[in-house]
Structure 1
Amino acid sequence: MLHTIPGLIDAVRARFAHVESCPFQGPRIFFENAGGALTLNSVVETSAKFAAIPDNQGRDNVASHALVDTINTAKADLAVFMNAPSGQFFVGESGTELLFRMIRTACVNAPKGGKVIGSSIEHPASRSAARRWADIAGLDYVNVQHDNDTGLVTAEAFRAAMTPDVCVATIVHASPVTGMGMDVAAIARAIREVSPECFIIVDGIQHAAHGQLDINSYDVDGYAISPYKVFSRHGYGVAWISDRLTALPHDQLIDAPSEGWEFGTRDTGAYATMSDVVAYFEWLGDQVSDHTDRRARIEAAGGAIHAYESHLTDAMINGTGNLPGLRDMEHVSILGGANNPAREGLVSIVVRDIPSADVVARLNDQGIRTHIRKADHYSGNVLTPLGLNDCIRISLCHYNTEQEVAQLLAAVHEMTA
């Protein structure tokens, strides 16, 4: 585990910008990672480097060739990082935009009278796209209800709702409200048992920072991430699509290569910063294992991240030192339950008799950055069935520390006392 190797957490934190302080607020603890993780210093440097280059890809000059090489290298790095030996990667405006594009393409090419299936736990990025394009394409939308107590949707729930005419499916890999990770591979198997040719598209935006990605094991057709939530920067999204989704008729320029999914000249720096992210995972894997193979190091890093973040969330829930955990604070309720092995680096709570906005503000006054989730178009699908208007989301990553958790617990305990 990361914290058992002397000096490793300090070495990890040294690789990120603004770990201990905000350039606007000053010293602070960053527990708002689900809203956007910290950025690698290498990403900041790479972004500046490529922002200064005036050349475009596709020209016959040395600089242009170098840009194309950078992009191809990043795509190869992503294939190792996400274990995707086939299909292709491309970038777009955002993870949400890419989900819309993949889901739209699958829906408009589906047989009339077919069905689209998704679940109530999904972020509106995929739910909105699926419902909108199902309606436009003349498809029925099937909603699989998640379990309110666990914050999960299961393969069994999907299986019970499946019929052979389901031609498009959406899955969220992890919920940004409950923090629970779904068993994507099991859900995809349940879908394909009934509808083998169904196009399956996954929202991996919340999951990407919290453990390893393994597209080859999922048997899906599309997967989207938002790089700013996995240690890169804002301004773009990354998608992987299978060869068969690549081949579907899709939005593109007239007479353009049929396999192309990008529009216009993309930012080479966006691709290059993903190589920085992959290099970081490889470095971390090298610290926690003796593997020499790139993929094996990345898997080791993902396992170590998941184990350490579970340690931190356990400390948050069960207490650390002489501080009681959130479960032992009479006025605190934990979404998804205190004992939930599906949790991925996120604990959402409600403090009785104190509005969530006030809790977030009080914590912020003490230099602890958290976030309120409201029962709006982003989170109402999760909060409304629980009878909640809002909650406080505490989201961490593997560069956070148990001491930071202790400061949070002390602050919340003081409020509830």
Structure 2
Amino acid sequence: MQRTSSSDLSHAGMLFDESLQRQIKARFHQVDHDYDGIPRLFFDNAGGSFRLKSAIEQHAAIDALPDCTERMHSGARYLQEIQSKGTEDFRLMLNAKGGSVFASLTASGAMFDMVRAIAENVPGKNFVTTVLEHPSAFDAVTYYADRLGKELRVAASNPFTGGVDVEEIVSKIDADTVLLSVIYASNISGAKIDLAEIVRQARLIKPDLYIIVDAVQHAPHGVIDLQETPVDALNIALYKFFGCRGSGMSWLSDRAARLPHHKLIAKPAGVWDLGSAAPAQFAVVSAVVDYVCWLGSHVSPSTDKRTLFVQGMHSIELHERALLARLLEGDGDIKGLRHIDGAKVLLDYPDLRKRDLIVAMAFERLSPADAVREYEKRGVIVYERVSSSLYSRRMLESFEIEGAIRISPLHCHSSDDIDRFLSITADIAATHNVIA
């Protein structure tokens, strides 16, 4: 791995060396071009995400098998092994002990199901969440608060950090709180929530509080450790974690899994799968875990799989932090977003250790939607977050921002990709005669 120019590694990160960077890119589909083979930069990985070739291949291979898992012949047993391995790999990904794992069509659907089980079956008078939640979490909590006549308490955002302060969340919790629903990282600013401290302080107020976490946005960027953050429910979306669409993966604690929920009556109390699971979904989990462990093997001699996974995720985090530093500050003659005339970084919190690789920015004389079109003309895909969008309005209004351009590269991008993006950004600013 290649050090950045800063001596403070924890702050500025560390780039992959060039050889490893090439190997990483080669393991993903369409990093440098679109589906027609046209060169482009895809910097919208917070909306979509690059796919691992191995994940796509494993999904296709396993999904092609006609066998039913609920049989006794060899083909069925093979699929059972795939599902069992994927389940354990998902536990390894989260460092989860016990509890229940279940696959769903979407992470959003799973979130509604998990919120429902807790909301309908745990006594109390109020629900707590934050203004920065994805609609799947915010709307689920809102829906059941309205339906069950509970008070909804919403923690406000911090426009300086781009996140939500621990104290703001904890101040909403009391002995009558039924559940706390929090997002792990903002999908607009990239600000990470201090989940460990939130869990610690929340459980001091109410030791048996049920806590639900939306980890969809954060999971591809950093280590998740449920032994350090003991929550009751957590979901991810595999398509944002180098895998395939049509697959949400969730974990529930033993006590949450046993709450009444939709299930076949004859199944054990903690089972959440309805009908036959798709073994291909679990094969994708294993492909993602194997890839991250492969990355970890470049920095650790360990043979322990969780150790390798953690080291791989740390490598991703450090590389992405170095990309973020370069995106903001530039390098040499390449100006970073903080220094391009007419471009403004929004929610620009200086401590990069508290941010995932997402940047919100704006141009002085170009709307976010128009800017996105200008980027596409130059072979760059980014996304506008605007107040007219149901996915953006609540968060933007909390920051008192009308709109933003969201930039979200991934660890398979290189410093050269960042430099190219910065050059294109400078060109857009100059072309439109934007004045800072």
TM-score (norm 2): 0.92
Give CA deviations for 1:326-367 in whole Å, capped at 9, x if unaligned: 111232222221514321011110111101112111111111
Q: Given that residues 148 and 386 in structure 1 are in contact (C-alpha distance below 8 angstroms), is that contact kept between their aligned partners in structure 2?
A: yes
- Partners in 2 of 1:340 and 1:285 — Cα distance? 25
1:292-311 correspondence runs (5 A) = 292-311=303-322
Change in Cα spacing, 1:210 to 1:186, as seen in structure 2 (3 Å) is same
Q: Is the 8 A contact 1:116 1:168 kept in 2?
A: yes
- Tell me which amino acid in the other structure corresponds to 2:60: A
Where 1:91 maps in the other structure, the secondary structure is strand
Q: Choose from 149, 154, 166 the match for 1:138.
A: 149
Q: Structure 1, residues 49-92: CA drift from partner, whole Å, max 9, x if none?
A: 12211111111221111111110011111111211122121101
1:390 and 2:390 matched: no
Q: Structure 1 unaligned segments of length 5 or more: list them.
A: none
**Aligned match for 1:260, one of 271, 277, 286:** 271
Q: Matches of 2:360 and 2:119 in 1, distance apart?
A: 34
Partner of 1:373: 385
Pick from 283, 286, 298: which aligns with 1:287?
298
Q: Check conservation: 2:161, 2:349, Cα contact below 8 A.
A: no
Q: Deviations over 1:137-162 (max 9, x none)?
A: 22211111111221111221122222
- CA offsets per residue over residues 118-169 of structure 1, 9 Å max, x none? 1111111111101111221222111111112211112211222221111211
Choose from 224, 230, 245 the match for 1:234. Answer: 245
C-alpha separation in 1, matches of 2:380 and 2:312: 27
Of stretches 381-390 and 33-42 in structure 1, the one that deviates more from structure 2 is: 381-390
CA-to-aligned-CA distance 1:219-269 (integer Å, 9 cap, x gap) = 100010000000001011000110000111111123332221011112110
1:403 aligns with 2:407: no
Higher mean C-alpha deviation, range 380-389 or range 215-224: 380-389
Q: Which residue of 2 aligns with 1:344?
A: 356
Give, in angstroms, the shift of residue 411 of structure 1. 1.0
Q: Which amino acid aligns with 1:412?
A: T
Deviates more, 1:2-11 or 1:16-25: 2-11
- AA in 2 matched with 1:187: I
After TM superposition, give the deviation of residue 384 of structure 1 in Å: 2.0
Secondary structure of residue in 1 paired with 2:359: strand
Q: Provide the residue aligned with 1:50 in structure 2.
A: 62
| Conserved 8 A contact 1:110-1:167 | yes
Aligned position for 2:135: 124
Structure 2 residues without counterparts, runs of 5 or longer:
3-14, 431-436
Runs (4+) off by over 6 Å: none
Matched, 1:64 2:76: yes
Work out the percentage of aligned pairs sharing the same amino acid.
30
The range that moved more, 332-341 or 311-320, is 332-341
Q: Would the aligned equivalents of 1:50 and 1:268 in 2 still touch at CA under 8 Å?
A: yes
Residue in 1 aligned with 2:7? Answer: none
Do the aligned residues in 1 keep the contact of 2:211 with 2:232 (CA within 8 Å)?
A: yes
2:219 is matched with 208
User: Who is 2:34 aligned against?
Assistant: 22
Contact 1:158 1:190 in 2 (8 A): no
Does residue 1:218 correspond to 2:229, yes or no? yes
Matched-pair contact (CA < 8 Å) for 2:368–2:386: no
Q: CA deviation at 1:304?
A: 1.2
2:83 and 2:127 map into 1 onto residues whose CA distance is 34
Paired residue secondary structure (1:252): coil
Tell me the residue number matched to 1:170.
181
**Is contact 1:317-1:338 (8 Å) kept?**
no
For the residue of structure 2 that corresponds to 1:132, the secondary structure is helix
Alignment RMSD (CA, Å): 1.4
* 1:406 positional shift: 0.7
**Residue 330 of structure 1 aligns with which residue?**
341
In the alignment, is residue 276 of structure 1 matched against residue 303 of structure 2?
A: no
Q: Quote the offset at 1:387 in angstroms.
A: 3.8
Q: Which residue in the other structure is 1:80 paired with?
A: 92
Distance 1:339 1:142 in 2: 29
- Aligned to 1:118, the other structure's residue is in SS state strand
User: Please, which of 203, 211, 220 is the counterpart of residue 192 of structure 1?
Assistant: 203
SS in 1 for 2:128: strand
Counterpart of 1:40, as a letter, is L
Number of equivalent positions: 416
Match of residue 107 from structure 2: 95
Distance in 2 (alpha carbons) for counterparts of 1:161 and 1:256? 37
CA contact (8 A) 2:158 2:399 kept: no
Q: 1:160 aligns with which of 164, 171, 175?
A: 171
Please give the per-residue CA displacement for 1:174-193, whole angstroms capped at 9, x wherever unaligned.
11111111111111112111
Question: CA offsets per residue over residues 267-318 of structure 1, 9 Å max, x none?
Answer: 1101111100000011000012222211111111111111110110111111
SS in 2 for 1:191: helix
Q: CA deviation at 1:4?
A: 4.8
Residue 43 of structure 2 is matched in structure 1 by 31
